[in-house]
Structure 1
Amino acid sequence: MAGKYNQWKAMWAITRASIRGMFRSPSAVVFSLAFPLVFILVFGFIGGRGVSLKVGIDPASDTTNSVYKGLRNSGGLRLVTTATMPQEQMEDDLRKGRLTAILRIDNGGQAPLPHYDIHVKTSTASGDGAGLLLNILHTRLNEVNDVVYPRRSVASITPEVVPGRAYKSIDFILPGQLGFSLLSAAVFGTAFLFFSLRQTLVLKRFFATPINRMYIILGEALSRLLFQSFGSVIIIGIGYFFFGFTLINGFATFLEMLVLCLFGLIIFMGFGFIVSGIAKTESTIPPLANIVTLPQFLLAGTFFSVDVFPAWLQPVCKILPLTYLNDALRKVAFEGLHLWHLGPQLLILIVWGIVAYAVAIKVFRWE
């Protein structure tokens, strides 16, 4: 007599097959791993360098004085001379915004004390860089003045530095890219998978077996959880070991971030089921999925803080589920909060999950 059919073994078989399929799928690897890694690498390499202005030096300038030497040693300026760029190209780059300004430093005489005239030529293409340059110039001139014209001050400044953590660009970018990776994989992956299973009659063949429908969904969901866990580990690991991503409580923070990733993935898979249910053809899946993912990619604090958007747009940003997952990941990683401190973020994500799965149940089709 044959033994009782084991639903769990069947579920694990579906899980293993689905994981193998995802690792063999270029689109799954690109959206889940390669795409966010590219942004992390880019922002990781350029992060922490601050503002850098490219400024030309007129060939008629006096480059032997203390003012020029102070500007040359300034970390916020990249000085370009005619030794590396012809004067004509400087003028052309200035008009096109490639140079912030062209400086001419004239020696106004040495008696009784040195005096220099600094002519700052900018263009309408310089943008905010012109104002930043003037601030840098004033700062450097004040430093030189303190040396050349020592004088008493009406007030003294007593600096005090308290311990703190440097908030690097990678500390903002990595959680955003991690969240968007989860959203993209959940929506696109789930939608394409179940649409394909219907179209190729795989689901129909499943129905010919004793496996329960719920175990089919659990098997596919578990495969995505495992695959995305692998991707999340790689993303966090590269950020931490190569770019100094902050894990304030070490391994405990890493584990809490993984829990948040899995929680967010489960919520976002509901949107994937909705797209899979309402898509009539495979070609309609990308536009429908983009309706869900693209606004969140742009507005949910993936690259920029929600606070930089106009006041009328911020309420829209603050109802998106990815906004709260990104916020939760950042609070855990950098601020050291624990999962039990994230009640508001988790509550809103749960509400979104309930809504998404309620709609998914209505529109999802097995055949």
Structure 2
Amino acid sequence: MAENYSQWKAMLAISKASIRAIFRSPSAVVFSLAFPLVFILVFGFIGGKSSSVKVGIDATSNLENPVYMGLLRNKTMKLLTGKPADQLEADLQRGKIAAIMKIDAKSDSGTYKVHVKTSTAAGASYTFFMTELAETINKIDLSTHPRPSIAKIESITVPGRKYKTIDFILPGQLGFSLLSAAVFGTAFLFFSLRQTLVLKRFFATPIKRSYIILGEGLSRLVFQLFGSIIIIGIGYFGFGFTLIHGFATFLEMLFLSVLGLLVFMGFGFIVSGIAKNESTIPPFANIVTLPQFLLAGTFFPVEDFPNWLQPVCKAMPLTYLNDAMRQVAFEGLHIWDVWPQIGVLLLWGCIAYGIAVKVFRWE
């Protein structure tokens, strides 16, 4: 009977059962699909909107003038009228508005006097408002008193691609989804299999240990590929996520997803091996995932962090997966063009699995 035993059929049976268990696990669905999708939806909806500056309008201000009308047409300006003076003062001191503006009636000389009051809490929003105000007044001056210019500007427009918020956010969320699912999912799974003596029952069958790992790994791979397809699909069809070479880029994104998942599963095996009980898994797993979630370019470019922190960011494997995905999706590079990032990921994979072999326990 043992000679007719098929290791591959046993492995596929394990994968099938594990996939069912994953889809029935609320935590797996939340971390792999719901959590990243929430961020993608939020940033997708707000990403195309320009930031606005709130400015309070004094109740005694003259609103029948070209300055106010010009600011009113400016989409970046949100002019607040009808608010009591004490409320405007409170909002100004708390930094909720950039300034309080009062425009006097037209003087005998034909000009409008604009009074602007701000606070130290306004910060950069006040500077932005003053720039827009000066530009508005300048446009009115040119239309009212046209004069020849000292210079003539000639410009040309070349084809280009707009780098949208979703083009940065989606690869980061996809990468973090892979990291979370691989680390938390693998750690909890094998710890549970040990605790419930399922692994011990496996050992009573002719299946080899390597096929147990392959079976469980295959189930994680299928589930995460399903999640990756959903995340990329919603980003592409819902928010215009850039896939520069179309379906070819989509396949390359899936290849990077598989590579990232396989590497990150090594960290999950480490956590599963060193955890003494189930309650210690989340702290160990968060040590691996949380710093990368915050520092690996998931929400902000690594270059935005202080110089002393950037070497730490650039040492994290998720940084290289995120970078590779963004270069493939938006910049049009191919898998063979991002070999430095892939090389670093493979190096991290060798380190992770090398440690996992030392600490992983079957019983």
| Code of the aligned partner of 2:35 | F
CA contact (8 A) 2:32 2:180 kept: yes
Q: Distance in 1 between matches of 2:108 and 2:258?
A: 70
What amino acid is the match of 2:238?
F
Amino acid at match of 1:105: I
2:117 aligned residue: 121
| Aligned-partner Cα distance in 2 for 1:110–1:222 | 82
For 2:99, the aligned partner's letter is A
For residues 154-233 of structure 1, what are the structure 2 equivalents within 5 Å? 154-233=150-229
Alignment partner of 1:296 out of 284, 292, 295? 292
Q: Deviations over 1:171-216 (max 9, x none)?
A: 1000000000000000010001011111111111100000000000
1:324 is aligned to 2:329: no
Q: Distance in 2 between matches of 1:80 and 1:110?
A: 28
**Structure-2 separation of matches of 1:363 and 1:115:** 79
The answer for unaligned runs of 5 or more in structure 2 is: none
Residue ranges of structure 1 left out of the alignment (5+ in a row):
none
Q: CA deviation at 1:2?
A: 7.4
Where 1:342 maps in the other structure, the secondary structure is helix
CA distance in 2, matches of 1:202, 1:289: 23
Q: What is the TM-score with the length of structure 1 in the denominator? A: 0.97
Q: Does 1:44 align with 2:44?
A: yes
Q: Deviations over 1:295-320 (max 9, x none)?
A: 10010000000110011111111111
- Give the aligned residue type for 1:47: G
* Aligned equivalent of 2:138: 142
CA–CA distance in 1 between the matches of 2:14 and 2:163? Answer: 43
Q: For residues 89 and 312 of structure 1, what CA distance do their matches in structure 2 show?
A: 42
Q: Residue 97 of structure 1 aligns with which residue? A: 95
Match of 2:239 in 1: 243
Whether the aligned pair in 1 keeps the contact of 2:59 and 2:84 (CA below 8 Å) is no
| Alpha-carbon separation, structure 2, partners of 1:73 and 1:179 | 41
Equivalent positions of 1:258-337 (< 5 A) are: 258-337=254-333
Using the TM superposition, give the Cα deviation of residue 96 of structure 1 relative to its aligned residue in structure 2, in angstroms: 1.5
Equivalent runs, 1:46-65 vs 2, <5 Å = 46-65=46-65
Q: Is the 8 A contact 2:57 2:80 kept in 1?
A: yes
CA distance in 2, matches of 1:58, 1:159: 41
Secondary structure of the equivalent of 2:300?
A: coil
- Deviating more after overlay: 324-333 vs 59-68: 59-68
User: Which amino acid is 1:72 matched to?
Assistant: L
2:8 aligned residue: 8
Q: Is the 8 A contact 2:2 2:206 kept in 1?
A: no
CA distance in 1, matches of 2:263, 2:97: 47
The letter for the 1-side match of 2:67 is: V
**2:75 match: secondary structure:** coil
Q: Deviations over 1:4-48 (max 9, x none)?
A: 100001000100111000100000000000000000000001012
Using the TM superposition, give the Cα deviation of residue 228 of structure 1 relative to its aligned residue in structure 2, in angstroms.
0.3
* Distance across 2 between alignment mates of 1:292 and 1:198: 22
Name the SS of the counterpart of 1:124 in structure 2.
Answer: coil
How many residue pairs get aligned? The number is: 363
Aligned-pair CA distance for 1:149: 2.2
User: Which residue number corresponds to residue 335 of structure 2?
Assistant: 339
Aligned-pair distance for 1:120?
1.5
Equivalent position to 2:361, from 344, 359, 365: 365
Instruction: Give the whole-Å Cα distance in 1 for the aligned partners of 2:20 and 2:10.
Output: 16
Q: Do 2:31 and 2:180's aligned partners in 1 also have CA atoms closer than 8 Å?
A: yes
SS at match of 1:290: helix
1: CA distance, partners of 2:194 / 2:360: 11
> Residue 75 of structure 1 corresponds to which residue in structure 2?
75
Shift of 1:3: 6.1
CA RMSD of aligned residues (A): 1.2
Distance 1:110 1:230 in 2: 72
1:354 is aligned to 2:350 = yes
